[in-house]
Amino acid sequence: MSNFDATKLLREDLNDFPPYSMGHVPLAELDSLVKLDLNENTYGPSPKALAAVAQMRHYHRYVGQQELREAIARYVGVGVEHIVTSNGADEMIDLVQRMFLNHGDAIVDCPPSFEMYAFFARVNGARIVRVPRREDFSVDVDAVEKAISDFRFQISDSANPTAESLISKLQSPKLVFLANPNNPDGMMIPPADVERLLALPALLVLDEAYAEFAGQSYAARVPTQSNLIVLRTFSKWAGLASLRVGYCIAPQAIAAKILQCKAPENVNAAGNVAARASLDDLEYLHANVRRIVAERERLAGEFGKLGFLQPLPSRANFLFCRVLGRDARQIHDALAGHGILIRAFGAPRLREYIRIAIGTPEENETVLKALREM
């Protein structure tokens, strides 16, 4: 019997790979918490979606995704040939990268932002060109332009004389990943900046996970813009986070390539019927989106009055607040003591900030009461 140690065959570039941690709350405890740490939709799925999952009788069959793609295409207002569905938007980040990145190719990431862009780039053996956001969390478009257009120049200008030999192998970054609105700050990229990014010789991947709360999307632009992919999800506005349904709107040839290469049943049947039922219950779900947006604006005002929180203007379903004169981690821990989960950050640049998803008016009152007592 062979006792060959197969761990020796593992990719060495994945040594020391830090896992993505979301924290874990046992299912049994979910109902006793005010859970505002992961930007979920506190109102949950539409009753029609829950009924569709319960009534579905074909979980023993492979159901395909054609009808789901067609329903999404109608919702977004583009042809079905532009739509590809995925196991959450997360999987689509991975799929898009795998379609474009050879080992050693680069993406542009603009931290602080959603961490899965860099996470999957590492898994896919890609390089990450980091273009940090400005002090106010806006995208430094000048620096992104430089990272793309002047890339060869930067390399040949390097102090390392052997870099010259690398130039032929190194390409300028292929993909630019930007969330719009961004997570964690909730702010949008000004339209003029999006135009500058679209003018670059790269593919712009706009992650619109929170588009329904912002009331704005670039999806309709995709059919006439050959270097734009828009990512969307049912996790936030439709409250289906753990059913895992995401999708992209991509130029036809790119969508066809992803369809050709992805696992055929990557969206499970429960997610599939729930997503379709959600699209049949837009009035209900959009009413919840409006409630969340109204509460976001009310809470931003109330947080501002506390004297130690400075909320940034958010277009998403959460508020990102600068903590003044206090310790953000202590606020996080004190709220946890009241059964309220919010997000604090380890990264040095974010240590003075907290992020709080918008709950129901009752949940938000619980948060406000706890904060006022601090």
Ligand X SMILES: Cc1ncc(COP(=O)(O)O)c(C=O)c1O
Give the whole-angstrom CA distance, residue 129 versus residue 116: 14
Long-range own/partner contacts, residues 25-33 (CB < 8 A, 24 or more apart):
25/341, 32/339, 33/339, 33/340, 33/341
CB of 92 to ligand X, least distance (A): 8
- Among 35, 39, 101, 267, which residue interacts with ligand X (rule: CB under 6 A)? 39
CB of 167 to ligand X, least distance (A): 34
- Among 90, 185, 281, 363, which residue interacts with ligand X (rule: CB under 6 A)? 90
Q: Is 357 in the site for ligand X (CB under 6 A)?
A: no
Tell me the window of 82-90, 143-151, 274-282, 283-291 that interacts with ligand X (CB under 6 A): 82-90
CB of 76 to ligand X, least distance (A): 15
Detail the DSSP E strand segments found in 43-174: 83-86, 106-109, 127-130
- Among 246, 271, 311, 359, which residue interacts with ligand X (rule: CB under 6 A)? 246
Residue-by-residue DSSP string for 216-274: --SGGGGGG-TTEEEEEESSSTTS-GGG--EEEE--HHHHHHHHHHS-TT-S-HHHHHH
Comparing CB distances to ligand X, the nearer of 117 and 303 is: 117
Q: Is 177 in the site for ligand X (CB under 6 A)?
A: no
Long-range own/partner contacts, residues 320-324 (CB < 8 A, 24 or more apart):
320/184, 320/185, 320/186, 320/353, 320/354, 320/355, 321/353, 321/354, 321/355, 321/356, 322/352, 322/353, 323/352, 323/353, 323/354
- Letters for 129-168 (x = contact with ligand X by CB under 6 A, - = none) are ----------------------------------------
Comparing CB distances to ligand X, the nearer of 205 and 300 is: 205
- Letters for 193-232 (x = contact with ligand X by CB under 6 A, - = none) are --------------x-x-----------------------
Interface with ligand X: number of residues (CB under 6 A): 13
Q: Which residues bind ligand X (CB under 6 A)?
A: 39, 88-90, 114, 179, 183, 207, 209, 233, 235, 241, 246
